[in-house]
Amino acid sequence: MIKILSGANFKAKSKISSPTHADIVATVSKIIADVIDRGDEALRDYTKEFDGCELESFEVSRNLIDEAALSIDPEFYEIMERAAKNIEEFHRLQIREGFEIRPDDGVILGQRVIPLNRVGLYVPGGTAAYPSSVLMNVIPAKLAGVKEIIIVTPPQKDGTVNPAILAAAKIAGADTVLTIGGAQAVAALAYGTKSVPRVDKITGPGNAYVAEAKRQVFGVCGIDMIAGPSDILVIADSTADPVLVAADMLSQCEHGSDSPAVLVTTDEALGRAVSEQLEIQLNELSRGEMARAAVLDHGMIIIAKDLDEAFEIANDMAPEHLEICLDNPMDYLDKVINAGSVFLGKSTPEALCDYYAGPNHTLPTEGTARFSSPLSVDDFVKKSSYAYYSEDALKKAAADVITFANKEGLTAHAQSVAKRVNLK
């Protein structure tokens, strides 16, 4: 069922998945242009077309948010509160301050860390609601000091928002929840409409249309990343339990039929046992058909000659999620160069951090962990530098600056200094 390859025959790809289809690009471009042109009217039309409901107002009232929080299972509400506490404790350590230095008499240099004014957070909703995404996006933004946090999420068929999403919004402290989804929600956040204020940055996961919309509006506003299909890579040896390895691989395959799951192992017997377990466990899943397509089309088991080769393959693939199912897993952490998040040992499934442990679950996909990072407090701030020179300090530096500017042929730069200190 799943492809089994030797490490020697495996050729790593720069990306784990496939590029965006041209029809998605064209459709999203049309939606964005329409939202720019018609604003709320376009949003209502797309909500009717894609979500099957008609809305006069997009904003969810505070009373409805409070009612939703009371309506869900109290035990689940308490679990979300505990998860929020873990997420806050982890992300609080990411808060950074500016600095100031005085390297010479009359010279002051520094950097300020400034929260973004307004951000839009996309949260998948409808039939697949993810309150965990609310916690993972809102909490770092709150810790960063963002002044206004707006959640956009697709409505259910009756026009309401899944109560668990609203409860998570209350726990995390979002300011506004809007019932808008898809590429049209991204366009509204980027450009603004009568009902949707323009934001400085858009974060959060979504389907291929949402990801493409974020790509197209980048530059008009900031984005966290362009998230592709979720993926997982497991490194394991003969000591691993094939039942657990297969279960962890399938935890990502159920996200979508294009979600890659890869096992890299030094033990061929384990690889074959995992292949058998995948077939058994696929029949137990509520999203078994989707997960099966992911395993068939994007799954791989790679037999490495040793652990060094296993980690080389992992670093080449730069997975979103990397599980190290080995004894003494901390001994191998330094071997990991490219991974969105690392899960160490046989008692740390990826799902633990998806919901509860504290690290963010919004991670770089499709091999982009080679150069990008998980969502963090840093995504919700900007940095601004400043400099002060006294008249005497400028005179000391003037000749160097004038020479540098003239060497680059920028005489106006040179003159802006020379005219202050009477140098030619």
pLDDT tens per residue across span 80-97: 999 999 999 999 999 999
Over residues 219-246, mean pLDDT: 95
The CATH code of the domain that includes 305 is 3.40.50.1980
Does residue 115 lie in a domain region?
yes
The answer to whether residue 60 scores a pLDDT higher than 60 is: yes
pTM score, two decimals?
Answer: 0.92
Does residue 384 lie in a domain region?
no
Who's near 422: CB < 8 A, 6+ residues apart?
Answer: none
- Residue-wise pLDDT for 369-414, tens only, equals 999 999 999 999 999 999 999 999 999 999 999 999 999 999 999 9
CA gap 281, 274 in Å, rounded: 10
- Catalytic residue, chosen from 91, 255, 298, 321, is 321
Look up 21 and say whether it is catalytic: no
Return the C-alpha torsion angle 78, 83, 84, 86, nearest 10: 130
Angle made by CA atoms 147, 153, 155, in degrees to the nearest 5: 140
The answer to whether residue 16 scores a pLDDT higher than 80 is: no
Q: How confident is the model at residue 110 (pLDDT cuts 50, 70, 90)?
A: very high
Residue 214 shares a structural domain with residue 262: no
Residue 351 shares a structural domain with residue 417: no
Residue 345 shares a structural domain with residue 276: yes
Q: How confident is the model at residue 15 (pLDDT cuts 50, 70, 90)?
A: very low
Q: What percent of the chain has a predicted confidence (pLDDT) above 70?
A: 96
Does residue 275 lie in a domain region?
yes
pLDDT given for residue 85 in this prediction: 98
Scanning the structure block, which residue is given the tokens 């003037």? 398
Residue 414 shares a structural domain with residue 349: no
Does residue 141 lie in a domain region?
yes
Residue 37 shares a structural domain with residue 181: yes
What is the β-pairing status of strands 261-265 and 201-203? unpaired
Tokens of 58: 């997009």
Residue 140 shares a structural domain with residue 269: no
Contact call for residues 150 and 174 (beta carbons, < 8 A): yes
Cα separations in angstroms, 386 against 105, 200, 236, 369: 16, 22, 50, 32
Does residue 15 lie in a domain region?
no
Does residue 126 lie in a domain region?
yes
Residue 217 shares a structural domain with residue 238: no
Residue 355 shares a structural domain with residue 396: no
Does residue 12 lie in a domain region?
no
Does residue 279 lie in a domain region?
yes
- Catalytic residue, chosen from 320, 323, 350, 366, is 320
pLDDT given for residue 19 in this prediction: 55
- Which of 174, 193, 223 terminates a domain? The answer is 223
Taking Cα atoms as reference points, which of 384, 381, 418 lies closest to residue 398?
418
What is the β-pairing status of strands 222-223 and 99-101? unpaired
The amino acid sitting at 96 is: R
Count of the separate structural domains present in the chain: 3
Residue 234 shares a structural domain with residue 212: no
Residue 407 shares a structural domain with residue 278: no
Q: Which domain holds residue 345?
A: 229-370
Look up 321 and say whether it is catalytic: yes
Residue 254 shares a structural domain with residue 289: yes
pLDDT given for residue 14 in this prediction: 39
The answer to whether residue 421 scores a pLDDT higher than 50 is: yes
pLDDT given for residue 4 in this prediction: 85
The answer to whether residue 275 scores a pLDDT higher than 80 is: yes
